[in-house]
Amino acid sequence: MTAPDLTAPPAWPPSSCVPCTRVRVPGKVILSGEHAVIYGAPALACAIQKYAFAKVTTSDASGVHLKVPEFGIDQQFSLLQLSQLAQQTQCRHQQYLNASGLLPSVVLNPTEFLAAALGASGLVSLLSDQHGLVIELSMDLVAGGGMGSSAALVAAMLAACFKHLGQPLTDTELVLKTTQSEHWQHGRSSGLDPYVCVMGGLQQYQKGYGERQVLNELTQYFLVTTGKPESSTGECVDSVKQQGFPQSLWQEFSTVQENLRTAMGLNQGIKVLDAIKANHQLLHQIGVVPALVCEFIAGIDAHGGAAKICGAGSVAGDHGGLVFVMGIDQPLIEKLCLSHGYGVQAMRPDLEGVFYFD
């Protein structure tokens, strides 16, 4: 399975004469720096040719009609409901930050999450009682699999809504508004997912700032889907935090990230492999790589390649989300994945970030 080519955006169904605004936002993969980025270390991440899509049209009914077939969402919200959901979600998140609430209680379900993101964005002040919006969302990203699906979906939704209302957001504004909902989803977001999804390309990200990197042609780079983790990103982050690792460990992550960034920039294949292997060992050390995924990665290593999870991983169950693999050819990776029941695709970078079709 391969991602759509960058020069040929996925086709939309034939549109009617009703004016609409259509946006796509790519997902992302973290190549190095998972977890460490939360503690101030740099991370290296790349946008990929897997997307979230948003289509917005004007409605005669006030409020917002939200449609997301992937999640079974088809619901109308009044402007008051959007604002109330945002306030309630923010209150639960603050309780979590104050250690008086649990992270799973912050976001109750995808419907309320997306509605609350709309309510917190400032969109309500731009809508009138006479007209509303119909928002249709879709994606070919794997939800909960390390691709930044929640950030991409919210960013596409907000970008399309504000553009449709004649108040287009700058990239910086879009990143900030999307990061708000990412805090709800993950507890304490580093902001990496919104930044990379909106900006596109290969980015080195640290403490809220990104720097675009030169991206050479990627050959024999693959993304393996091991299954949706049983632990959420926030639960993994909390588990790592509770172990109280020393700052020296996060410095090791920083060193590995810099080694990978330099090696990729210079096309030094052997050093890239070494950096990925070192990164995997660090992730294994903090306990976020399930045992079965470790066995799969060991098999990659035995065949001369290297692999690591490229998301939060999991602290429960057998599935670890997405795994980044390089250094072996496609027939072999397909054979290894088949034996484990995993899916595989070539990694194809997205260089554009948020893209407006109209």
Topology classification of domain 20-213+350-356: Ribosomal Protein S5; domain 2 (3.30.230)
Of the candidates 348, 273, 354, which has an alpha carbon nearest to the alpha carbon of residue 21? 354
Q: What are the tens digits of pLDDT across the range 10-31?
A: 544 444 557 899 999 999 999 9
Domain ranges (residues) in the chain: 20-213+350-356, 221-346
Give the distance between the most distant pair of CA atoms in the chain. Answer: 64
d(CA 61, CA 306): 54
Residues 6+ apart with CB under 8 A from 150: 113, 143, 181, 182, 185, 193
Q: What are the tens digits of pLDDT across the range 129-145?
A: 778 999 999 999 988 77
Q: What are the tens digits of pLDDT across the range 223-277?
A: 999 998 998 888 898 899 899 999 999 999 999 999 999 999 998 989 999 999 9
Q: What are the tens digits of pLDDT across the range 173-190?
A: 999 999 999 999 888 888
Of the candidates 78, 28, 53, 19, which has an alpha carbon nearest to the alpha carbon of residue 157? 53
Q: Tell me how crowded residue 276 is: count the other CB atoms within 10 A of its CB.
A: 27
| Burial class of 22 by CB neighbour count within 10 A (0 to 12, 13 to 18, 19+) | buried
Residues 6+ apart with CB under 8 A from 177: 120, 121, 122, 158, 169
d(CA 184, CA 106): 6
Report whether 281 contacts 307 (CB < 8 A). Answer: no
Global pTM value:
0.89
3 confidence band (pLDDT: 50, 70, 90): very low
Q: What is the pLDDT of residue 216?
A: 82
CA 317 vs. chain centroid, Å, equals 21
221-346: CATH number: 3.30.70.890
Same fold, 20-213+350-356 and 221-346: no
56 confidence band (pLDDT: 50, 70, 90): very high
d(CA 52, CA 25): 5
Whether the per-residue pLDDT at 6 is higher than 50: the answer is no
Beta-bridge mates of residue 22:
55
Tokens encoding 42: 């740099």
